[in-house]
Amino acid sequence: MRVDELFFLSVAIVLRWRLYRPFFRWLRSDRVRMDEGGLRVRRFGLWRTYLPFEKVSGWKIHGATLCILGLDGRIELRWRFDNANRMLSTVSELEARLAAHQADGMPAFERGERSTRQWLADLERKARRSAESPYRSRVLLEDAARAVNEPTLSADTRAGAAAVLIASGEHGARRRIADSLGAEAPPLLVAVAARGGEPVAEDARDALGYLTGDERRALGR
CATH no. for 26-100: 2.30.29.30
Q: How confident is the model at residue 10 (pLDDT cuts 50, 70, 90)?
A: low
For the chain, the structural domain boundaries read 26-100, 107-219
Provide the 3-class DSSP secondary structure of residue 149.
coil
The 10s digit of each residue's pLDDT in 130-156 is: 877 777 788 888 899 999 989 889 999
Beta 56-62 vs 47-52: how paired, if at all? unpaired
Residue 164 has pLDDT above 60, yes or no: yes
- Residues, the chain: 221
Q: How confident is the model at residue 187 (pLDDT cuts 50, 70, 90)?
A: very high
Q: CA 144, CA 152: separation in Å to the nearest integer? A: 14
Q: CA 219, CA 197: separation in Å to the nearest integer? A: 12
Q: Answer whether 124's CB lies under 8 Å from 165's CB.
A: no
The 10s digit of each residue's pLDDT in 92-122 is: 999 988 888 765 568 889 998 899 999 999 9
pTM, entire model: 0.77
How many angstroms separate the Cα of 100 from the Cα of each of 96, 107, 125? 6, 18, 31
